[in-house]
Structure 1
Amino acid sequence: MVRNIHTRDLCSSLLEVGQLIDGLASEQDRLWPHESWPAMHFDRPLSVGAVGGHGPLRYTVESYKPGTSICFRFTAPDGFEGTHGFDVSEVRPGLVRLQHTLCMRLKRGACISWPFIYRWLHDALIEDALDRAEAAVTSSSVHRHSWSLWVRLLRRLARAKGGRTVA
């Protein structure tokens, strides 16, 4: 079982951070790092049952509470069985936690592709998203996370094969 959690505490309001979730895959998306990673797209606006994904990762919206949480269920790649999503919660007045949680079981080839490829790209993408969230809702300077050598190599290999980055 894979359980992968990334959090960022933001000096902001629940409303402002919640709007980041609500803007996913829209023209006003301030959360997803689409300038560096495959964009998130859906067949309709965010709602339960919307079908989409990013790059080779496909999923459907399993649950959605505007301004609070969204949960996606994987449909591809083969062997990814589970969910991922964002949640917003108040730590204390003026401090809000944005969390991304991935929970899945790996089957077949995913037992190899997740630990050697997808995990590294996923972690870099989510940290980039949290950097974007911080930049969008705070006035403080944001420390941008840098990609590991392995992530840079995987991205270069994906481009060399004529594809886009997988995560």
Structure 2
Amino acid sequence: MDADEAMRVNRALNKMSKLYREAKARKLAALGLHPGQDVLLWLLAQQPEGMTVSELAARVGIEPPTATRSLARLESGGWFRREPVPTDRRQVRVVITEAGHALLPAIERAWIELAEETMGEAGEDELEIALSTLETANDRLRLIVGEGPLADE
């Protein structure tokens, strides 16, 4: 790859990252959420018994204080509740509520709409090539930053 191609790749990836985040923010704002909060709620919904803040942070790939701040912003929506962890008084388990479960279809709908709008009229073959290329690039970036190719997103 020459310098011109490298610049083109860098510009495209940087621009896509910024634009995708902004488009996602607009869709989620209609639900009263900020980017990242959708993922926290979705992950909580996958664990009926809930998760500790540390477990949730590890699954998302963020630091526990960042997860704590995001959860504090989410708390007013009544989308989860905190329960004590009987074996460790320092920990709390975060459990999604019925209100949180009720929000999941709208979150998933926003994700689908954004994916469809982003990919436009791409055919099945084009979509597969794009996804394969992006997944390979993600795997390479995970190795570069030391997460390994199978780390959770």
Question: Could you state the TM-score of these two structures normalised by the residue count of structure 1?
Answer: 0.30
Which entry has the higher C-alpha Rg, 1 or 2?
A: 2
Greater relative contact order (Cα < 8 A, sep 6+): 1
Q: Name the structure where strand makes up a greater proportion of residues.
A: 1
Question: Could you state the TM-score of these two structures normalised by the residue count of structure 2?
Answer: 0.32
Q: Name the structure where helix makes up a greater proportion of residues.
A: 2
